[in-house]
Amino acid sequence: MIASHYVYWTFFALMLIGLYVVISHGNLLKKLIGLTLFQVGVFLFYIGLGKRDGGSAPIISDGVEVYSHPLPQVLILTAIVVGVATLAVGLALAVRIFEAYGTVEEDEVVERDRADLATGHDGHQAAGRDSGGS
């Protein structure tokens, strides 16, 4: 069972490593790296589903009898676009957090919010945020 499905075990290991990084790291960028690893594991899992032993790329050509399944590949093309968009929004937010707090460590950000609360400053950001990127 393990031997014949070793590909899936590898992919699931990759997913779990990604998920562990997301949970265990407080650095926002490392969280995003973990998230991407997790997503890539799932992408590979889909591609693995469509692979057949000895199958060639799903392009009709002479003398080829066995093809890999094209549908999972198409689905993952869409999912990769979604993944890139997620990463882009995540990185943009990390940049904005760095501009607003001067750090990308989650603990320090929370610490600064708490300090704000204690001093009565409500974190209102008027000037700083519009000088930043669009």
Partner 1 sequence: MTGQLPVLQVAAPLLCAPLCVLLRSRTVAWLLFLVASLASLTCAALLAVRVDRSGTLRYAMGDWQAPYGIEFVVNGFNTPVLLLVSLSAVVVAVYSRRSVAGELAPRRVPLLYACLCLTLAGLLGLAITGDVFNAFVFLEISSLSTYTLIAMGRRRQALLAAFRYLVIGSVGAVFVLIGIGLAYAVTGTLNMGDLAQRVTGGHDNRSLQAAVVLVFVGLAVKMAVFPLHAWLPAAYAEAPSAVSTFIAATGTKVAIYVFCRFAFTVFGATLVFGAMPVGRIGLLLAALGILLGSAAACFQDDLRYLLAWSSVAQVGYIVAGVSLATTAGVSAAYLHMIMHSVTKAALFATAGLLLLRLGTVRLAALAGVGRRMPWTFAAFVVAGLGLVGVPPTAGFVSKWALVTALVEQGQWLVLAAMLSGSLLAVFYVGRVVEVAWFREPTADAEPAAAPASMVTAIWFLVLLSVSFGFDASLPAHLADAAASALLGNGGG
Distances (CA, A) of 104 to 21, 27, 33, 45, 127: 16, 6, 14, 31, 21
CA 32/CA 22 separation, integer angstroms: 7
* Minimum distance from residue 46 beta carbon to partner 1 (Å): 5
Torsion of CA 66, 67, 68, 73, to 10 degrees: -170
Query: Quick check: 77 binds partner 1 (CB under 8 A)?
Result: no
Q: Which is nearer to partner 1, 67 or 106 (CB)?
A: 106
* Minimum distance from residue 72 beta carbon to partner 1 (Å): 8
Residue-wise DSSP of 27-48: BHHHHHHHHHHHHHHHHHHHHH
Question: Which helix (H) or strand (E) covers residue 69, if one does?
Answer: none
* Minimum distance from residue 54 beta carbon to partner 1 (Å): 20
Q: Which is nearer to partner 1, 61 or 134 (CB)?
A: 134
Query: Quick check: 56 binds partner 1 (CB under 8 A)?
Result: no
Residues facing 105 on adjacent strands: 27
* Minimum distance from residue 56 beta carbon to partner 1 (Å): 21
Three-state DSSP state, 9:
helix
The residues binding partner 1 (CB under 8 A) are: 15, 19, 22, 28, 31-32, 35, 38-39, 42, 45-46, 49, 72, 75, 78-79, 82, 85-86, 89-90, 93-94, 96-97, 100-101, 106, 109-110, 113, 122-125, 129-130, 134
